[in-house]
């Protein structure tokens, strides 16, 4: 039992949740390493939402609400950490939800779909096709889902699929604590934040955008600026770490 007054309570709860989901076959063993890498970068921003990430979250809401067809792409780690948050964002944005996996088995797909459904998400199902130009199983997508989408939110994404989606002409929003990753640098919009903080921020923004704000946010989107701001935040914290 993790005491709620522990200074890293949220992080430890997330770690315990993803470990449990790994034992249940929802998270691939490789996903544990990916989670640990993200934790390391979260330390560098103080385990909090920084100003540039808050701006990126509002911009993400603007993009989802303005899309012709938005899809939230979910992998095992995202489902394990934020199934309820995915469902809430779906309700707020009207986006579809589709499961997409690198370490893909039908059993994992079924378990993740069930977890998301139990938390209130409506998950697209059907026969996937090799739509995205990749040689591995993340190419498999639903024609009526990611295949048809113009905006795709891909939390905790692989860089090669992000690049492939961009090459297909889709706008890609990602949530990635590493501002140096291929995903962060390739995406249309990167939110440098932890997924259980970022998703509720996007959801809240969907309900609070003022008239004309969505258009202004999209027109002024500068992902290079957002990444540089995150890196500057990390540098400043490192510079003062031993003072």
100 is in an annotated binding site: no
91 is in an annotated binding site: no
Which value, to the nearest 10 degrees, does the dihedral of the CA atoms of residues 183, 222, 71, 146 take? -60
Which value, to the nearest 10 degrees, does the dihedral of the CA atoms of residues 126, 130, 134, 137 take? 50
178 is in an annotated binding site: yes
130 is in an annotated binding site: no
Which residues, at least 6 apart from 189, have a Cβ–Cβ distance to it below 8 Å?
Answer: 56, 59, 60, 63, 171, 172, 173, 174, 221, 223, 226
183 is in an annotated binding site: yes
Which residues, at least 6 apart from 178, have a Cβ–Cβ distance to it below 8 Å?
Answer: 37, 38, 41, 184, 192
15 is in an annotated binding site: yes
Residue in 125, 129, 181, 117 with CA at minimum distance from that of residue 155: 181
- Bind-site residues for ATP: 15, 37, 176-178, 182-183
- Bind-site residues: 15, 37, 176-178, 182-183
């Amino acid at each position: 039992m993790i005491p709620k007054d522990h200074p890293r309570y949220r992080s430890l709860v997330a770690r315990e949740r993803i470990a449990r989901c790994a034992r249940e076959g929802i998270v691939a063993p490789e996903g544990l390493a990916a989670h640990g890498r993200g934790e390391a970068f979260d330390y560098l921003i103080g385990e909090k939402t920084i100003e540039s990430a808050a701006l990126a979250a509002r911009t993400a809401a603007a993009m989802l609400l303005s899309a012709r067809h938005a899809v939230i792409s979910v992998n095992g780690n995202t489902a394990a950490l934020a199934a309820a948050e995915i469902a809430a964002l779906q309700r707020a944005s009207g986006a579809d939800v589709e499961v997409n996996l690198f370490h893909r088995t039908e059993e994992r797909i079924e378990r993740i779909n069930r977890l998301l459904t139990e938390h209130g998400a409506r998950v697209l199902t059907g026969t996937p096709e090799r739509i995205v130009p990749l040689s591995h199983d993340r190419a498999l997508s639903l024609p009526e889902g990611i295949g048809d989408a113009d905006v795709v939110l891909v939390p905790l994404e692989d860089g090669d699929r992000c690049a492939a989606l961009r090459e297909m002409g889709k706008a890609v929003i990602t949530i990635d604590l590493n501002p140096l990753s291929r995903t962060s640098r390739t995406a249309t919009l990167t939110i440098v934040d932890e997924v259980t903080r970022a998703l509720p921020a996007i959801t809240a923004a969907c309900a609070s955008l003022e008239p004309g704000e969505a258009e202004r946010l999209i027109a002024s989107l500068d992902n290079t600026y957002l990444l540089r701001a995150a890196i500057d935040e990390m540098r400043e914290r490192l510079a003062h770490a031993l003072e």
